[in-house]
Amino acid sequence: MSAEELEGIADRLDDINEQLAELAMAALRDAIEAGEGKPELERRITRARRAVEKASTLLRDQRGDDGF
């Protein structure tokens, strides 16, 4: 797999990260409008977003190791 292919996948993950961030904000906004606390859905979306962000970063890591 070439560096360009990995970069392309990382770019797609960045797009997914942005979509998840928007969904999390919408869930939070809906909860606020309904007078509720921080919703579980927003927490799960945020956890998923962080995982996607980490995957994108790992694919862009040029050191060739696992970062440890």
pLDDT in tens, 21-45: 999 999 999 999 999 888 999 999 9
52 close to 17: Cβ distance less than 8 angstroms: yes
Give residues with Cβ within 8 angstroms of 39, minimum separation 6: 27, 28, 30, 31
Q: Is 64 helix (H, G, I), strand (E, B) or coil?
A: coil
pLDDT band at 68 (very low <50, low <70, confident <90, very high): very low
Give me the pLDDT at residue 37, please: 85
**Is the entire prediction scored with pTM above 0.85?**
no
Give residues with Cβ within 8 angstroms of 9, minimum separation 6: 59
* 67 vs 34: which has the higher pLDDT: 34
